[in-house]
Amino acid sequence: MAMKGILMLACALALVGCNKAETDKANRPNAPFGLAKGDLIPDIQIGSTPDAKGYAVMREVPKPEAPFTSYAVIVRENIGICQVTAVSGNFAVSNENAVRGRLAQAGQAIQAKYGSPTGFIDSCDNKDKSKGAGLCKPSLWAQAIARGVRQYAFIWGSPAKPLNADIKQIRLEARTNEVMEPYIRADYVFTNEDACTPPAPKKQ
């Protein structure tokens, strides 16, 4: 009976230890959604084998955060994670100001961790007629976002001036899906990004 009690206590302590380890992992600094620069494939919950570019959809993340519902990474076997991408669900809005509001709301949580954004893009450039003419009209905001003519984005850091030792840049932007429903996308690019990028083929 005493042995059974000892075994039960050992199992309980092991469970507490595992839970603490998971909590510590989720709360690491510079680890968006609990995913840090250099985390290796065996240590993360990917739901698909990385493709040729290292892109893999996550099955789950240690620390999901609203408004995001889906997550992906760029990861290499011997380098680990180089980028984390999160996307929100689609939402229904009637105008571009509502999209700006959703984007700003999503940006507040990032600002609380990393300070004020270093850049903000709110522009419409319709010079490239191949993307469609007249898309800068306010009523065509969804089509303009889909074509890459209109941009709404907050940016933290840059390739020339990384945000910190681990994160090169964060980009939070509005996107639209194939039926013109908007959603929010966040890209966290780590400072080991160059190591994840395959070298360009040499010219013969």
Percent of the chain with pLDDT over 90: 65
Mean pLDDT of the chain: 87
Q: How far is CA 36 from CA 81, 82, 85, 143, 176, in A?
A: 7, 9, 12, 35, 28
* Predicted TM-score of the model (pTM): 0.84
Minimum mean pLDDT range among 1-10, 94-103, 120-129, 153-162: 1-10
What confidence category does residue 29 fall into, taking pLDDT thresholds of 50, 70 and 90? confident
pLDDT for position 18: 47
Minimum mean pLDDT range among 10-19, 38-47, 107-116: 10-19
Specify if 185 maps to a domain. Answer: yes
| Residues 81 and 36 sit within 8 Å (Cβ to Cβ) | yes
Interval 117-149: pLDDT, tens: 999 999 998 777 666 678 888 889 999 999 889
State the total domains in the chain.
Answer: 1
Q: Which domain holds residue 76?
A: 31-196
Specify if 204 maps to a domain. Answer: no
What's the Rg (C-alpha) of the chain?
A: 21
Specify if 61 maps to a domain. Answer: yes
42 Cβ partners below 8 Å, 6+ apart?
Answer: none
Specify if 21 maps to a domain. Answer: no
Specify if 82 maps to a domain. Answer: yes
- Three-state DSSP string of the chain: CHHHHHHHHHHHHHHHHHHHHHHHHHCCCCCHHHCCCCCCHHHCCECCCCCCCCEEEECCCCCCCCCEEEEEEEEECCCEEEEEEEEECCCCCCCHHHHHHHHHHHHHHHHHHHCCCCEEEEEECCCCHHHCCCCCCHHHHHHHHHCCCEEEEEEEECCCCCCCCCEEEEEEEEEECCCCCEEEEEEEEECCHHHHCCCCCCCC
Specify if 171 maps to a domain. Answer: yes
For residue 99, the Cα-to-chain-centroid distance in whole angstroms is 18
106, with CB counted inside 10 A (0-12, 13-18, 19+), is: buried
Specify if 11 maps to a domain. Answer: no
Specify if 24 maps to a domain. Answer: no
> Alpha-carbon distance 23 to 32, whole Å?
14
Q: What's the token pair of residue 74?
A: 């760029």
